[in-house]
Each structure stands twice: as structure tokens, then as C-alpha cells.
Amino acid sequence: MFLFKNWKRKLTTNHFIKSLSVLMAGTALSNVILAVTTPLMTRLYTPEEFGNLSVFLSILFSVSVIASLLYDSAIPLPEKDIDAFHLFILSSLIVIGMSIVILIVVVFLPVTAFFDVPVLGKHIWLLSLSLLGIGLFHILNAWALRKEDYQSISKAKLIMNGSQISAQIMLGFSQLGLIGLLIGEVMGRIAGTLGYLKLLKKDEVPLKQLNMKELKKVTKRYKSFPLISSWSALLNSLGNQLPTFFLAAHFDPKTAGWFFLAQKILTVPEGLLGFSAQQVYLSQSAQQARASPERFMSFFWDTIKKMFVMGIIVIGMIAFIAPYAVKIVFGQQWSEAGDFLQILSILYLMKIIVNPLSANFYVTEALKYQVISEIIRFLLICLSIFLSAYYFESPEASLTCISLMSSLGYLVNGLFSWYVIKKCFVKTQIGFKSN
């Protein structure tokens, strides 16, 4: 009994756990809505329609990571709020400009033909609106992280997901097919951004202090983010989206639809644990690094232990029941998604453990090591797709190869995350001795 009380006291007083629990509460509510509505969605839309949506989202996510040229990732880092505010403005201007560029590109270039999804052709212009919404959402999210306003982060995510699902269900009943899924996606992104603006208006924004000199200063000070880190982010996103493009083109949109549902289910624990932890880790690791390298290193290993224990329990349970539950909950036409889910479980466990640690590259500004690790991971994924295309005939065998090689890539990323802390620790010790 004493041990239980002692364990409970440690959990309730641990700042990381408390912050994580706030984000997890909002994410959990979003995921409850997702879990309740997905069985209905799989009956309103076909695997082929979900497959085409997955290609649309893969293009969106590939581009969205560089929508602000990664300047939004720097917002939590400056000591002064005025510097962070100018990064906020700079990021917003870049996102708006990038959305206009993407609109021009998708209208005048045959993007959908390249991915062998011609049915998306007349709707692809919606990509620019989704990009604008998701780009501004990420910027506002970074500002809220700086302020450690975890309640606003949870509420905004709930608004975005709730609006998106509600719109897609209503349009599904109207039997609009693919266009219903796409319009719902856009409406959710825009609603999330507007919700964030409403939630953050209580925070004083120093508009009167905005000037071009400061804007140029932060552009130059954090130039390594667009010049170096943006490439690693792009490689990371492309690596994540390549399996969708491969399955849709090499097999068919239905296979991509099964893959999409498996990912959608596994995204629930990843969002609940991995993404929430990533937000908290990014916010608190900067503080730990400013305090001392020892505290930063301790925080790093403590986070790994927590994420491993929570991840293996949750992912293990889902993988065990998936083949039986998917047929019952989503319908017989989605049964293959259960097999896909089991195959992907090891990959999502690695993502839950490793993804939060990517903040180490930003905090230590060791962005070249992030690029190296992402290049290695990207090459491993490309190798897995090459092997799948030429040596494996079934989607299951191909996906197993992709899952294992991708997991290895995340392990490499985690090792580099540890290395940059160790390097920072050694550098600090040398500087201390020289003084």
C-alpha cells in the first residue's frame, strides 16, 4: 500500500507526467470520437475511396512539414518572447506563400497522374487549402507549447478532429463519395486553426513591437532550420508516405485503403502517447538543456523508459485483438486491414518511443546529424520498397519488409538523438575545464 501511494505521489508531482496527462486527455477524447465514428465511416465510404484519400493525405503531409520551412519548430526555443513572436509572424507569412505556390503547381502540373490516382485530378486544388490550415495550426501549436498552454493544445486538436469527422459523416450520408472525404478534411483543418485563434486570444501578442529589423534577425539566427532541418523533415515525411504511394501504384487503391485503416487505428495510441509526449518533450527538453547537460541526459533516458513501457502494453494489446476485432467492427470488406495492423505494430512501437526524442536535434541545434539519420532511414525505406517491388508478390510480404526496415530506420534516428546529447555533454565538460 505504501509503495502504491509513493508511486502515485511521484506521478502527480512529476512535471512531465502532469503535462503529458493534459495532452493525453484531449487526445484521448479525440480518439474516442475517432473510435466511435470509424465503423460508421467504413460503411459510408469504400476501401477505394479511403485509398484515394490516403494518397491525398500523403501528398499533404509530405509538403506540410516544410510549409513554414521549419521556422515554427524554433518558436519554443528563444529566451525572449519578442524573438519567438517574430518567428511566429515569419512562419505564418511563409505558410501563406507556400500555399499559393502549391495551388499553382497542382493546377498546372499533372500531379495525380504521377501517383496513378487520376480520380483525384479534379479535386487536387483542395490541397492548398488543407496546407494553409495545417501550416497555421502547427505554428499556433508551437506558440502554445512555448507558453506551456497544454489545455489549449488539447482543445484545438479536439476541435480540428471533431469538425473533420462530423463533416465527413454528414457528407457521407449525402453519398458524395471521395469529394465528401476531401471537403471534410479541409473543413477540419480550417476549424482547428480558427479554434486555436479563439483559444489563444487571451495571450498578449506584442503586435506593436513588430518590426522588419527583428524579423530579419530571427530569419538569420535560425536559418539552419530551413537550410538544414527542413531537408531532414522532408525526408522523414517522404519516408512515412512512400508506402502509401507504393501500395496504391503497385497493387491498387483498395490495398492502400486497408493500409490507411490499419494506420488510422495505430495512430490512436501513437497520437495518445507518442505525439503528446513529443509536444511535452519539445517544451521541457529546452528547459532541461539550459539547466544542465546532466539533467538533459537524465530526462532523455527517463522519457525512453516511460514510452517503452506504455507503448509495448498498448500496441501489444491492439495487435493481439486486431484480426478478430476489425472484421466485426468495420465489416468483412476491411478484414485485410487487421493483418496489416499486426504487421505494422512493431513499427508504431518504435515511432512511439523514438519520435519524441527528435527534439534533441533542435534543442542542441545539431541539425546536420538529424539530416544524416533521416537520410539513412529514408534509404532503408527505399530499399524495402525496392525489395518489395521485385521480390515479394503479396501486399502482406511487402508490408512486412517495409515495417521491419522502417523500424530499423527509427532505431538509427534514436541512436543519433542520444549521440547529440552526449556530444553536448562532452563539449560542456571541456568548456568547464578550460575555464
Which residue, among 221, 163, 140, has the nearest Cα to 33 in the 3D structure? 163
Q: Is there a domain that residue 56 lies in?
A: yes
Helix H or strand E segment including 300: helix 293-330
Question: Which residue range forms the structural domain that includes residue 71?
Answer: 16-428
Q: Is there a domain that residue 260 lies in?
A: yes
pTM over 0.85: no
Query: pLDDT truncated to tens, each residue of the chain (435 aa)?
Result: 444 455 445 445 555 566 666 666 666 777 778 778 888 998 999 999 999 999 899 899 988 988 988 899 889 888 888 888 899 999 999 999 999 999 999 888 877 777 777 788 888 899 999 999 999 999 998 988 888 777 888 888 888 988 999 999 999 998 888 999 999 999 999 998 988 877 665 555 566 678 888 889 999 998 888 877 778 788 878 888 899 989 988 888 889 999 999 998 888 788 777 666 776 777 777 777 666 777 778 888 888 888 888 889 989 898 888 888 888 888 888 989 999 999 999 999 999 888 888 878 877 777 788 888 889 999 999 999 999 999 998 999 999 999 999 999 999 998 998 888 887 665 555 443 444
Who contacts 52 (Cβ-Cβ below 8 Å, separation ≥6)?
117, 119, 120, 178, 248, 253, 256
Which residue, among 353, 337, 81, 377, has the nearest Cα to 205 in the 3D structure? 81
Q: Is there a domain that residue 88 lies in?
A: yes
pLDDT of residue 3: 44
pLDDT of residue 340: 93
Helix H or strand E segment including 67: none
Q: Is there a domain that residue 362 lies in?
A: yes
Q: Is there a domain that residue 308 lies in?
A: yes
Helix H or strand E segment including 276: helix 276-291
DSSP character for 358? G
Which residue, among 157, 165, 136, 130, has the nearest Cα to 60 in the 3D structure? 130
Q: How many domains does the chain have?
A: 1
Q: Is there a domain that residue 227 lies in?
A: yes
Q: Is there a domain that residue 177 lies in?
A: yes
Whole-angstrom Cα distance, residue 249 to residue 262? 18
Taking only the tens place, the pLDDT of each residue in 291-349 is 677 777 888 888 888 888 888 998 989 888 888 888 888 888 898 999 999 999 999 99
Which residue, among 287, 292, 352, has the nearest Cα to 318 in the 3D structure? 352
pLDDT of residue 16: 57
Which residue, among 254, 213, 199, has the nearest Cα to 55 in the 3D structure? 254
User: Angle of helix 150-173 relative to helix 276-291, nearest 10 degrees?
Assistant: 160
Cα-based angle 351, 357, 360 (whole degrees, multiple of 5): 150
**Following DSSP, what letter does each residue of 187-249 receive, concatenated?**
HHHHHHHHHHHHHHTTS---GGG--HHHHHHHHHHTTHIIIIIHHHHHHHHHHHHHHHHHHHH
